[in-house]
Amino acid sequence: MAVRVKTRRYIGMIAVSVAALALLAWGASPYWLSVLNVIGLYTVVAVGLSLLMGYAGQVSLGHAGFYGMGAYVAAVLSTRLGWNGWLTLPAAVLLTMAVAWVVGRPAVRLREHYLAMATLGLGMVFHIVMVEWEAVTGGSSGIVGIPALAVGPWTVEGERAWLILTWGAAAMALAMAYSLVTSPIGRALRAIAGSEAAAEALGIPASRYKLAVFVLSAGFAGLAGALYAFYVTFVSPSSFGVMMSIQFVMMVVVGGGHRLWGAPAGAATLVLLGEGVKAYLPALLPGAGGEVQLVFYGLLLIAILLLKPDGVLTGWATWRRKRSGEHARAA
């Protein structure tokens, strides 16, 4: 019953979002269109990560690595081996998922921090490989001239055309995540996040589920990365460092991992925040490099986790639920 009511509400939200997006796509300047595209791509990553963090109770500090791996697989296959661009997308997704499986399998069976550290290390290793394996990755200058995606005679070019792809992928990721969390598997995942021992006592194979969610979230990141490669037409290691991984985590933290709408909201907040910092920081702090953001992000992360551990942007939902006297039955 609750689910059906919720579904109806979600349909309303989807209609509103699509209308808002269409309006933005029609009216916005190229700059804002590119911002929207980036938000769409990050939403795909954040949805996967929020499944991992909000539902499986694990955190990955290496999602920029998976994102970068997807981007490099797409770039290498399409430029060096001449693959059709569309074929590189599933290849990128499958390869990232395979790597995530190999790394995740031993790590999810242990305590939370093992996966956190293992993914942090994995992200660093990806970064090193991108820089060092020059024959394939082009070293620190990366790979340029990635061909545009094409449908028959039409190529996907220009910010508006890309909106369909980025937000199409975001919508697909959200839909998949929604059907996952409303399924029995979703309930099992919530049970694991609540108490792993209790969940296992009820016969839920906790580590297998956690691994599946981790692999799925890596796949989302790989897809977003591959799309990113075609979107910007070049890749270089600097876009996929540890800082990016932490930004992905922050998107989920800001949006609140328990609600799927937190992912696009968190992605939008972080992207807009980043753009704002880029635009206004030089005026506020002359001579300060972009890395000064670190202090700001670090303190923001601490403040949110200490004061609003369920996310800032979904605070109103909690408030409404409290008001209507309904108990915490997060979707």
Partner 1 sequence: MDAGTMVLQLMLSGLTVGAIYALVAVGFVLIYNVTGVLNFAQGEFAAVGALTGAWLSMRGLPLWVCVVLAVLVAAAVAAGVERAVVHPARQSRPMTVIMLTIGAGMALRGAALLVFGTDPLAMPMFTEGEPISIGGATILWQTVWALVLCLLFFAALVFFFEKTYTGKAVRANVMNRFAARLYGIRPTTLSFWVFVVGGAVSGLAGVVVAPITGATYDMGLMLSMKGFVAAVIGGLNNAAAAVVGAVLLGVVESLATGLLSSGYGDVISFALLLAMLLVRPSGLWSRAEGKRV
Residues near partner 1 (CB under 8 A): 53, 57-59, 61, 103, 105-107, 109-114, 116-118, 120-122, 124-125, 128-129, 131-132, 196-197, 242, 246, 249, 253, 288-289, 291-302, 305-306, 309
In the complex, minimum distance from the CB of residue 14 to partner 1, in angstroms, rounded to a whole number: 30
143 and 21 in contact (C-beta within 8 Å)? Answer: no
Q: Considering only CA atoms, which of 13, 67, 321, 25 is closest in space to residue 164?
A: 25
Q: What CA–CA distance (Å, rounded) separates 85 from 89? A: 7
47 and 251 in contact (C-beta within 8 Å)? Answer: no
CB nearer partner 1, residue 175 or residue 300:
300
CB nearer partner 1, residue 40 or residue 54:
54
CB nearer partner 1, residue 90 or residue 309:
309
Q: Is the dihedral of CA 113, 115, 121, 124 positive or negative?
A: negative
In the complex, minimum distance from the CB of residue 306 to partner 1, in angstroms, rounded to a whole number: 6
In the complex, minimum distance from the CB of residue 109 to partner 1, in angstroms, rounded to a whole number: 6
- DSSP-derived secondary structure letter, 140: G
| CB within 8 Å of 249: residues ≥ 6 apart | 49, 53, 59, 60, 61, 63
Q: What CA–CA distance (Å, rounded) separates 177 from 58? A: 16
In the complex, minimum distance from the CB of residue 75 to partner 1, in angstroms, rounded to a whole number: 20
CB nearer partner 1, residue 122 or residue 212:
122
Q: What CA–CA distance (Å, rounded) separates 80 from 144? A: 11
CA-based max dimension of the chain: 62
Q: How far is CA 25 from the centre of its chain?
A: 22
CB nearer partner 1, residue 43 or residue 60:
60
CB nearer partner 1, residue 146 or residue 199:
199
In the complex, minimum distance from the CB of residue 153 to partner 1, in angstroms, rounded to a whole number: 44
In the complex, minimum distance from the CB of residue 124 to partner 1, in angstroms, rounded to a whole number: 6
Strand partners, 143: 235
